[in-house]
Amino acid sequence: MLDIRRRTGVLLIVVTVAQLILISAQVQSKAGVPVFQEVTFGVFARIQGGIWGALGSVRDVWSNYVWLRGARAENETLKKQVAELEVQLQQKEALAARSGKLQELLSLQTGAALPTLAAEVIAGAAMPDFQTITIDKGARDGLRGDMAVIAPAGVVGRVVVPSPRAAKVQLLIDRNAAAGALIERSRAQGVVVGAADRRLQMEYVSEVADVVVGDLVVTSGIDGIYPKGYAIGRVEAVERAGGAYKRIVVKPAVDFSSIEEVLVVLTLAPGREAAEGGIE
């Protein structure tokens, strides 16, 4: 009995809905379109709009993903190009710096009154207390012991051990090195020796000599090794030593930590030339 009632109710609902559909299909809306068609269109339009919106979102997400992948790849390419350009720039700057140093060396060689030979530094001293460098020219190139070594900035040192194809140069800042020197402005004379902290000390300068901070110290030529008039450094400090001489600290003109090329003066002092000639 209950099942018959349920079937009757369902049938009634189906018949009612069908009548409503038939009526809406026949009844015209204000726009002249059947109400059923207008309602159906509205429903499907909303469904279609929702589907289109979802598809649009998916399309936007995919497009953004593809764009991000392309942008990332482009960014990596640009990074590589920038790195390559930076390396090329460093190479060009290094080449320009080297060209500038070589030009300075050439100018010094051209202006020198004495015969010189250009050499390249190929090694430095392993021991801090023994300040030397090794150059790529040796006895086969005419180098001999006690030949002066100079750079555009000033005095570097002297040849101490010439081998056939290379030579060891004692730097002026070595504690066992020395050179005759004078104050260019006042002509006060003394001897420059190596000191601590890559500085020089000018000794045997009279207490009454005219020496002030900033004075240029040059070679005097009295040691028979270094030609006269080449820069050694500038006075950094002047102190009274309590005796007959001043204590003078000199900052070297040459930056010994960055020497790359030098000139070797190929002549010795007359006395040394004669001595070596007699030995031979």
**In tens digits, what is the pLDDT along the chain, a chain of 280 residues?**
556 656 666 666 665 655 555 555 555 555 555 555 555 655 555 666 666 666 667 667 776 666 777 777 777 777 777 766 666 666 555 555 556 665 666 666 666 678 889 999 998 876 767 899 999 999 999 999 999 999 988 999 999 999 999 999 999 999 999 999 999 999 999 999 998 788 999 999 999 999 999 999 999 999 999 999 999 999 999 987 777 889 899 999 999 988 889 999 988 755 455 445 444 4
Cα–Cα distance, 134 to 14 (Å, whole number): 110
Q: Which CATH superfamily is domain 116-279 in?
A: Rod shape-determining protein MreC, domain 1 (2.40.10.340)
The backbone torsions φ and ψ at residue 188, rounded to the nearest 5 degrees and listed phi first, read -70, 135
- Nearest Cα to 202, choosing from 180, 229, 176, 220? 180
Task: Mention every residue, 6+ apart, whose C-beta is less than 8 A from residue 6.
Answer: none
The neighbouring-strand residues paired with 190 are 181
62: tokens are 């995919």
Cβ atoms of 143 and 155 closer than 8 Å: no
User: Residue 256 carries which DSSP code?
Assistant: G
Element (H, E) at 65: helix 35-111
Residue 129: predicted pLDDT? 72
Cα–Cα distance, 69 to 3 (Å, whole number): 64
- DSSP, collapsed to helix, strand or coil, labels residue 191 as strand
Residue 48: predicted pLDDT? 64
Residue 196: predicted pLDDT? 78
Q: Please identify which residue in the block is written with the tokens 């009279």.
A: 206
Q: Provide the residue ranges of all domains of the chain, joining segments of one domain with +.
A: 2-57, 116-279
Residue 197: predicted pLDDT? 82
